[in-house]
Copies of this chain bind each other. A is one copy, B any other.
Amino acid sequence: MKLPIRTLMGPGPLDVHPRVLAAMSQPLLGHLDPVFLDMMNRMMDKLRYVFETKNELTLAMSGTGSAGMETVFVNLVEPGDKVIVGVNGLFGTRMADVASRLGAEVIPIEQEWGLPIAPEQIERALTQNPDTKFVALVHAETSTGVWQPLDEIAQVVNKFDALLIVDAVTSLAGIPVQVDKHKIDACYSGTQKCVGAPPGLAPVTLSPKAFDVLKQRKSKVPNWYLDLTMIANYWGQERFYHHTAPISMIYALFEALTLIEEEGLSNVYARHLLNGRALQAGLQAMGLEMVVKEERYRLPQLTAVRIPDGIQDTQVRGLLLERYGIEIGGGLGPFKGKVWRIGLMGYSSSRKNVLLFLAALEDILNELGYTKNRNLAVEVASKFYASAIS
């Protein structure tokens, strides 16, 4: 198995810490081994820490982040339920698709790609549809780089007594998700973003209120594999066999969460913020335009930047990969060929990666005749670090 060594700076997966890689190469334990069961218990506590919740039903589903989305919707939504979905990027669109396949009456709240959903939009939709059961939002839109503020919207949703579903795939352990503070009823994530593990598991948490909705379903969950009532019995005291947990992935997530504990969640957030803003300062110094104009709505861990006129998307990404082994992401849907997406998540959110990437991109854009001042971006980012840290 001969694999090239990359520096992953796209929308995910990202490079993971060597300790996480080492964890996966440990020999396996059985999925009902007392040592493994103890690890699962401790894992639930570690997940509560990053979700900032006391929710008992907090665990990792055996699938990728998209399985987290599927889990939340298939367990909670029943045919005919009204679901308001914020649609301002690919993952909002996906939530609407997932919910409608389950027979929900989806009310899409649309917003231009690159802007957040406004609290007023949700309030208006809830006023027109007071029987709405769920409001679903993407906290960190990986397709656009938008940071969706939750505070005001959560209050609106609460006032109307609907349940709040939040997609935290790209936000968990990157920016504060604060499940309890925002009274989020259902929240899911992936492991391959800021959590800092390979893809393959989906952390999920449900509030007691959401768990009640699940318990009071009229029909069985139409998905055996993701049925949370059964899976909760496996993660719970009963240890009732459901499916065989993906042991090696659990090791990886356990180690990644241990790294977060060791660093401290507030330090983890500060690191993501600092590196993201430094990168953005450097990109802007090169004259590149941010997809998200207002900084307060701009994620630090995932930056979407417009590709300048006359520059070929795939040529630049190809050169980054060939010459430097750096992977960044292209645009999705309407952004295809028009946007680059640069990820600084988990272990990959480092000053080293910021300077490396800016230097590499400037090198290539100089060569293609777009920029003239080699290392201007690096200089600006370096100064940003100096002033931010002093």
Contacts and interface: CB of A to CB of B under 8 A. Distances in A.
A97 interface: yes
Interface of A: 1, 3-6, 8, 10, 12-16, 21-31, 33, 35, 62-67, 69-70, 74, 94, 97-98, 101-103, 190, 192, 198-200, 220-226, 241-249, 251-252, 254-255, 258, 321, 327, 332
B1 A28 contact: no
Nearest to A24: B24
A223 B321 CA distance: 35
A97 B1 CA distance: 40
Contact of A6 (B8, B23, B29, B223): B29
Query: Of A10, A21, A246, which is in contact with the most chain B CB atoms at under 10 Å from its CB?
Result: A246
The 7 A-B residue pairs with the shortest CB-CB distance, nearest first, are A200-B246, A25-B25, A66-B243, A70-B225, A24-B24, A198-B248, A98-B224
Contacts of A221: 101
A327 B30 contact: yes
B1 A248 contact: no
B67 A225 contact: yes
A35 B224 contact: no
B223 A4 contact: no
B29 A65 contact: no
A65 B243 contact: yes
Contacts of A190: 244
Given A64-B62, A98-B224, A101-B220, A3 B29 contact: yes
Contacts of A30: 6, 8, 10, 13, 327
Given A69-B224, A70-B224, A198-B246, 14 more contacts: A1-B254, A3-B26, A3-B29, A6-B29, A21-B25, A21-B26, A24-B248, A63-B67, A66-B224, A69-B225, A102-B222, A200-B200, A200-B248, A248-B248
A23 B65 CA distance: 23
A14 B13 CA distance: 27
Given A1-B255, A200-B249, A6 B33 contact: yes
A191 to B, nearest CB: 9
Query: Of A14, A67, A224, which is in contact with the most chain B CB atoms at under 10 Å from its CB?
Result: A224
A199 B101 contact: no
Given A24-B25, A25-B25, A30-B327, A3 B70 contact: no
Contacts of A65: 243-244
Nearest to A26: B3
A17 to B, nearest CB: 11
Contacts of A242: 66
A238 B67 CA distance: 22
A285 B231 CA distance: 40
Query: Of A74, A223, A226, A327, which is in contact with the most chain B CB atoms at under 10 Å from its CB?
Result: A223
A334 to B, nearest CB: 14
A129 B67 CA distance: 36
A103 B199 CA distance: 32
A6 B27 contact: yes
7 contacts: A3-B26, A13-B31, A31-B199, A62-B63, A67-B225, A199-B246, A200-B248
Given A1-B254, A222-B222, A244 B67 contact: no
B15 A223 contact: no
A385 B154 CA distance: 68
Nearest to A34: B321
Given A13-B244, A30-B13, A225 B25 contact: no
Contacts of A23: 1
